[in-house]
A and B are shown apart, each in its own frame.
Chain A
Amino acid sequence: EAGVAQSPRYKIIEKRQSVAFWCNPISGHATLYWYQQILGQGPKLLIQFQNNGVVDDSQLPKDRFSAERLKGVDSTLKIQPAKLEDSAVYLCASSSGQGANTEAFFGQGTRLTVV
């Protein structure tokens, strides 16, 4: 079974530029998560999708971040314009069930550096 796929693996941009990350979850997984992990910290949930609907986006900085999940499968996360403090690893994860007793699996992440 293929795991969660993310691209690109690394990205360096200048502040005020825009960037987009892509995630393909495990086949059949209804729930998709985007996390931001700053060095030395735990992952911070940015947005959680159930199929193509948003379950939680309370910590998504909506003035600069946006995310969508087309047809309940692939997802993209966009930052526009980027700030220096957006430098982090962006992790995508997916899980299968609609209830609470499900396990989430992570992709390899995208390391973003904003200079």
Chain B
Amino acid sequence: QKEVEQNSGPLSVPEGAIASLNCTYSDRGSQSFFWYRQYSGKSPELIMSIYSNGDKEDGRFTAQLNKASQYVSLLIRDSQPSDSATYLCAVTMGDYKLSFGAGTTVTVRA
């Protein structure tokens, strides 16, 4: 079982729609959860962090965490062409090891 798994892409959404990205993790002791955005040819950029169950909103981004289900998600509201990128889910495992999923590529159609 992979440590961090993301829903397979690519995901194509029309401009203005909501993009929904999902991630599950294997270590029940994980404490910290992050979403990174990576444009083609660039390094990952941190866009959201979440540490407790529930929702966390930052602008058009909402992260949701459910530790009982070992599930974390990212919603992008009012998607813009500039949101087209690969989104990486990252989880800090019990020994503080930071592990990444394979990423989901999002394309926003104008």
Contacts and interface: CB of A to CB of B under 8 A. Distances in A.
Interface of A: 31, 33, 35, 41-45, 48, 50, 55-56, 89, 91, 93, 95, 98-109
The 9 A-B residue pairs whose C-beta atoms are closest, nearest first, are: A100-B31, A42-B100, A106-B43, A42-B102, A100-B92, A100-B32, A43-B100, A56-B97, A109-B43
18 contacts: A35-B100, A41-B102, A43-B88, A44-B100, A45-B99, A48-B96, A48-B98, A55-B95, A55-B96, A95-B98, A100-B32, A100-B96, A101-B31, A101-B51, A102-B92, A104-B34, A104-B46, A106-B44
B43 to A, nearest CB: 4
A48 B90 CA distance: 15
Given A42-B101, A45-B98, A103-B49, 20 more contacts: A33-B98, A41-B102, A42-B4, A42-B88, A42-B102, A42-B103, A43-B100, A44-B100, A50-B96, A56-B97, A89-B43, A93-B98, A100-B31, A102-B32, A102-B92, A104-B90, A104-B98, A105-B46, A107-B43, A108-B42
